[in-house]
Amino acid sequence: MIVDDIVQSYEIRNLRLEPAIGEKYMHSDITAPEIDVQSWLDYSRAKIPVWQFYAHGKSILSKKPVSVKINKGEVLYFAENETLGIYVTGESSEVAIKEFTEELFHFYEYYSNLHESKVIGEAQRLKLLYDEQFEELVP
Amino acid sequence: MKKQTQKHVEKFGINEVYPNSPLVEVVCEIRFPGDLAIECKKDEFHAKIKDGYPNILVPSAKSGKAMSLEPYRFENEKKSAGVMLAINKFSFYMKKYEGHKKFIREFKRLAKILGETYSLTKLDRIGWRYINFIPFSREDGIVPLERFLQVAVQVPKGISDRFENFSIVLISKTSDGSVTTKIEPAMRTDRAQEALVLDFDFAMTENLSFSKLNSLVKKAHDNTRLLFENLITDKYRGYLRGEEI
């Protein structure tokens, strides 16, 4: 789903929400209504937990969530996970996550097809990680 | 709408602080009959807390709203915590939450000063509010609500339960008080990231008095914490504890 489609879904949602509901929510007895929740919209947490990755009509499920760190550089967005050794960039955070997914798929297939006798050191660690923590789901 | 509830098993410790907590702000507020002394002598209260909360934020005038009901804010240097005070309410908020013990300790300290400064006795309301932002990545274009929260929506045939967007507001009564819950995805203004807003608060309005404040604060906290723990999935709780790749 491209970013414009996502933005449009927010616009449709906000148009369809009855103004009365919003007013009732704000003026109903909520604690400290002065708190500006909207200001937190621009609050960015660097880590996004992702359990399932989709690409090329397939999906890979992780036993534990993969923390994808998203950072914005001057021009590009960075998506990375140090444990998996994945560092990618993208023109938007969505593109960066897409690139991250592609890399993850690539490494999953690579290490799945590699026999354990062929790896040592860091490659051995990664193979063990991919073998134990990830599984490809049958569509 | 159907709400899934967990079996009654203690899956968390009340003192547990999550390293990956989604909390962005915690507020505890008390309301009382309007007291003109507060309106006229804010300086007396601020003088007693000035060391910790030196910054004064004056409320801006809002059309149709009485200025006396808009709180002054007294904030710490780091802008991470502060007090809000108006003619009929007082609240303490923290943006970098370090656990309920520290929060409640500071709330009680400030409330004691408030009570001594203005001779408050009666309370109309006490509320505890958690505001959480849970960043997520869409799965196949859909908001993966079920990964994080135990909120199941039963929809009739023909309506898909694969949500591209939604907004849920629940205002419900409990045996001890009332709970207002808001769950909806939100997007940063620069479109860089989305997050689930989980904003809920628990409030009590019956049998309140300033002298019972200590026990009331604990009750408000415990109820709100339990609500949060019942809302999140076990898998997400694991992530909050740091179980991640």
pLDDT single digits (tens) A14-61: 777 755 445 444 445 788 888 877 666 665 556 899 999 988 889 999
> What are residue B185's DSSP bridge partners?
B196
**Residue of B165, B188, B243 with shortest CB distance to A41:** B188
pLDDT tens per residue across span B123-161: 999 999 999 999 998 888 889 999 999 987 778 888 877
Give the Cα separation of B169 and B14 in Å (integer).
26
Give the Cα separation of B134 and B21 in Å (integer).
9
Residue linked to tokens 């709408």: B1
Give the Cα separation of B99 and B157 in Å (integer).
44
Residue linked to tokens 């001594």: B116
| pTM for this predicted structure | 0.86
Give the Cα separation of B143 and B139 in Å (integer).
7
User: Which residue in chain B has the smallest CA separation from A83?
Assistant: B245
Min CA distance, A115 vs chain B (Å)? 23
Q: What is the mean pLDDT of residues B83-110?
A: 93
Under 8 Å between Cβ of A131 and A108? no
Contacts of A51 in chain B (CB under 8 A): 144, 147, 235
* Residue B7, pLDDT score: 46
* Residue A20, pLDDT score: 46
Is residue B5 pLDDT above 50, yes or no?
no
Please give the DSSP secondary-structure letter assigned to residue B59.
P
Both tokens of residue A49?
A: 């937990």
Min CA distance, B48 vs chain A (Å)? 23
For chain A, say whether B195 makes contact (Cβ under 8 Å): yes
Residue linked to tokens 């300086």: B43
pLDDT category of residue B242 using cuts at 50, 70 and 90: very high
Min CA distance, B37 vs chain A (Å)? 21
Give the Cα separation of A30 and B172 in Å (integer).
12
Please give the DSSP secondary-structure letter assigned to residue A75.
S
For chain A, say whether B241 makes contact (Cβ under 8 Å): no
Closest by Cα among A26, A17, A126, A72 to B190: A72
pLDDT tens per residue across span B15-74: 788 999 999 899 999 999 998 889 889 999 999 999 999 999 999 877 777 888 889 999
Query: Strands B2-3 and B55-57: what pairing?
Result: unpaired
Residue with the bigger pLDDT between A138 and A55: it is A55
Is residue B75 pLDDT above 90, yes or no?
yes
Please give the DSSP secondary-structure letter assigned to residue B223.
H
Q: Which of B97, B128, B136, B137 to mutate to test the interface with A (most CBs of A within 10 A)?
A: B137
